[in-house]
Copies of this chain bind each other. A is one copy, B any other.
Amino acid sequence: MNAAGTMRIVRTVNELQAIVNPKQRNGRTVGFVPTMGFLHEGHLTLVEHARRDHDIVVMSIFVNPAQFGPGEDYEAYPRNEQRDADLASAAGVDYLFIPSVEEMYPNKSTIRILPGEQATRLCGASRPGHFDGVLKVLLKLFNIIDPDESYFGMKDAQQLAIIETFVRDFNLRTVISRVPTVRETDGLAKSSRNVRLTEQERSEASAIYKALSLGKKSYYDGVPLQEVEKIIRTAIEKDTSGTIDYVTALAYPSLDENFSEAEEVIIAAAVKFTSTRLIDNIIMSTIKDEKND
């Protein structure tokens, strides 16, 4: 584990592969935290888990062009390498991998990974090609690092579900760990994109989690999920100036529209503000009775 100040920044694939070479680990295990940087407490909580579980903690910071569509916020995505390096070091990261786009994508590659059915809903419907890009960069990072365990926050629940399917179906060796969403005191899910909200929007944005919580309470009071969606939607419309992209209830992690066999259900929302789009979700255990329609 990194004593504060001994973190090493690595910029090339070759260097990182040499450092974490699986043949030279001598029994030490590697925990991996992939990020797009502009670190917040959510990311640092992932690092905390990795430090607790493993000898070596690797964090990657890479704003992945492959997962941004035309018209999205690739250029505007917040970046601050020095701030990130300080936070990562203080949190106990051992190796901070910050490759350039050229380093990660040196060749014009036309091989793609299509994420399948789980990507046809929620953000996959709003952002076609997004999860293709996520799987592409993660397969590369998993191959470069060969982690024992990789940590992902529940805020990006669809991403997590797709990654779990990918790891299972292609026999990747890393364990995938789900870490609960970290929130501000008013409930807003921590996110790098929160910095792109105006002051007014930031105060409104807490309504998203409040609406989801109201939805959860309604569900456990016996309201059917289709009604629960409407309750959440109405609350967000009433309390924010944002435009709703989606408010959807699905089985989790399958993301099927058919809940009947599901043990868990996700209620998820995406709301667009003037310069950014926020997402959030709550995962709930299902109530198995006729109220499930």
Copies in the complex: 2
Determine the interface band of chain A, counting residues with CB < 8 A from chain B. 20 to 34
A13: CB under 8 A from chain B?
A: yes
Interface set, chain A 118-143, CB cutoff 8 A to B: 118, 135-136, 139-140, 143
A34: CB under 8 A from chain B?
A: no
A169: CB under 8 A from chain B?
A: yes
Name the contact of A170 in the complex, choosing from B27, B140, B169, B173 (C-beta under 8 A). Answer: B140
Q: A23-B22, A113-B113 are in contact. Are A169 and B107 (CB under 8 A)?
A: yes
Considering the complex, give the chain B residue whose CB is closest to the CB of A139: B170
Contact B143 A109 (CB under 8 A): no
Interface set, chain A 128-184, CB cutoff 8 A to B: 135-136, 139-140, 143-144, 146, 162, 165-166, 168-173
Tell me the A residues contacting B by CB distance below 8 Å: 13, 17, 22-23, 25, 27, 107, 109-118, 135-136, 139-140, 143-144, 146, 162, 165-166, 168-173
14 example contacts (A-B, Cβ-Cβ < 8 A) are as follows A13-B171, A22-B146, A23-B27, A107-B168, A111-B114, A111-B115, A111-B116, A111-B135, A111-B166, A112-B116, A140-B170, A143-B170, A143-B171, A144-B171
